[in-house]
Structure 1
């Protein structure tokens, strides 16, 4: 093989390697957009202790349509700390009627659907902001699984809910019954239609939870 042929072959190999590398990068970027049930920590050092005299904060939420997620992210923005999504091991259908039927059946059976959410050291948190939508007058059952898994006795719990017209109903009373021993603040309840534009209401409530 002469020098010219060798350089041509080397150039093709390098181009192939570059294409392969770019393809892997795109694949990894796509994977990064997948749901991440593990705790997302604040990027600022010490931000998870920036409220309530240095006590550590966790914002935990369950969201199907994205309304409760929007509220949780705004709370996290205001209070700092860490944030985690309560993710069912088996995702709910994106079809509304199918999810409604499944949620009703789970509630009737007092089910505990498996969750993929993992929190390595739950004991470190002093304050838990816990949020979820009103499903059939109460909590989605993956939230019940979360409460059974991560005991909140002795912790300060600030509940927040979203709803499609039913208001709070049993969301608060059922939470108190399941998370016995927790110290509850006043709750925040927002309609799903206003959840993404309620920064002022969230700010007022957050200030109350700091007392």
Structure 2
């Protein structure tokens, strides 16, 4: 009798998500969909993640849209310990501190659409998102936020995005209370279908 090992959907997704990170944090990875004649896509998926939930959505968007993927990474990493990270995030927000980034997007002007992903921290966008938006001129670009949260909703995050990217054309945001990957992927696909116009 032959034994077969079953790989869970979670294990398969984790394995596939590691691939874009091989290029290194803060670097660009191009999706597998259609690109321009120059080999460059006109869409960028920029995301910040702590636990990987936002990365899951970012990777799906990049794959579905043939977009370039960029992970937003602070120059100085946030603490691994959750309580320390929460305390640092609250301190940054209170002081209106903009943490320096490890890198910015090269040739950012060439992108027409930016999908911007982040988790909710303390009912708003993390300070590193403010840093990213300040470092990149969103004027005239279509900006589509996608947000993960633990059940408390979007808070003031969309107001932060609108304030930091005043010249952008804001698309409806996608938000997801993180639970099962399968449900997340299904809902992201529906959202992408609606933003294709």
* TM-score of Structure 1 vs Structure 2, range by shorter chain: 0.7 to 0.9
Alpha carbons of 1:34 and 1:105: their partners in 2 closer, same or farther (altered >3 Å)? farther
Query: Whose radius of gyration is greater, 1 or 2?
Result: 1
Counterparts of 1:83-162 in structure 2, within 5 Å, are 83-162=69-148
Aligned pairs, number: 175
CA deviation after TM superposition for structure 1 residue 55, in Å: 6.9
CA deviation after TM superposition for structure 1 residue 178, in Å: 1.2
- The aligned residue for residue 25 of structure 2 is 36
Say whether the 8 Å CA contact 1:63–1:69 is kept in structure 2.
yes
The TM-score with structure 1 as length reference comes to: 0.77
CA deviation after TM superposition for structure 1 residue 197, in Å: 3.9
Name stretches of at least 5 consecutive residues in structure 1 with no aligned partner: 1-31
CA deviation after TM superposition for structure 1 residue 206, in Å: 0.6
CA deviation after TM superposition for structure 1 residue 81, in Å: 1.5
Stretch moving more, 93-102 or 112-121 = 112-121
Distance across 2 between alignment mates of 1:144 and 1:196: 30
Decide which structure has greater helix share: 1
The TM-score with structure 2 as length reference comes to: 0.82
* 1:32-86 CA distance string (max 9 Å, x none): 8584211112356xx3349xxx970000000011111111111111111100000
Say whether the 8 Å CA contact 1:128–1:156 is kept in structure 2.
yes
Distance across 2 between alignment mates of 1:40 and 1:60: 11
Alpha carbons of 1:106 and 1:48: their partners in 2 closer, same or farther (altered >3 Å)? farther
Name stretches of at least 5 consecutive residues in structure 2 with no aligned partner: 1-20
Counterparts of 1:1-211 in structure 2, within 5 Å, are 35-42=24-31, 47-49=34-36, 56-194=42-180, 197-211=183-197
Alpha carbons of 1:196 and 1:56: their partners in 2 closer, same or farther (altered >3 Å)? same
Secondary structure of residue in 2 paired with 1:114: coil
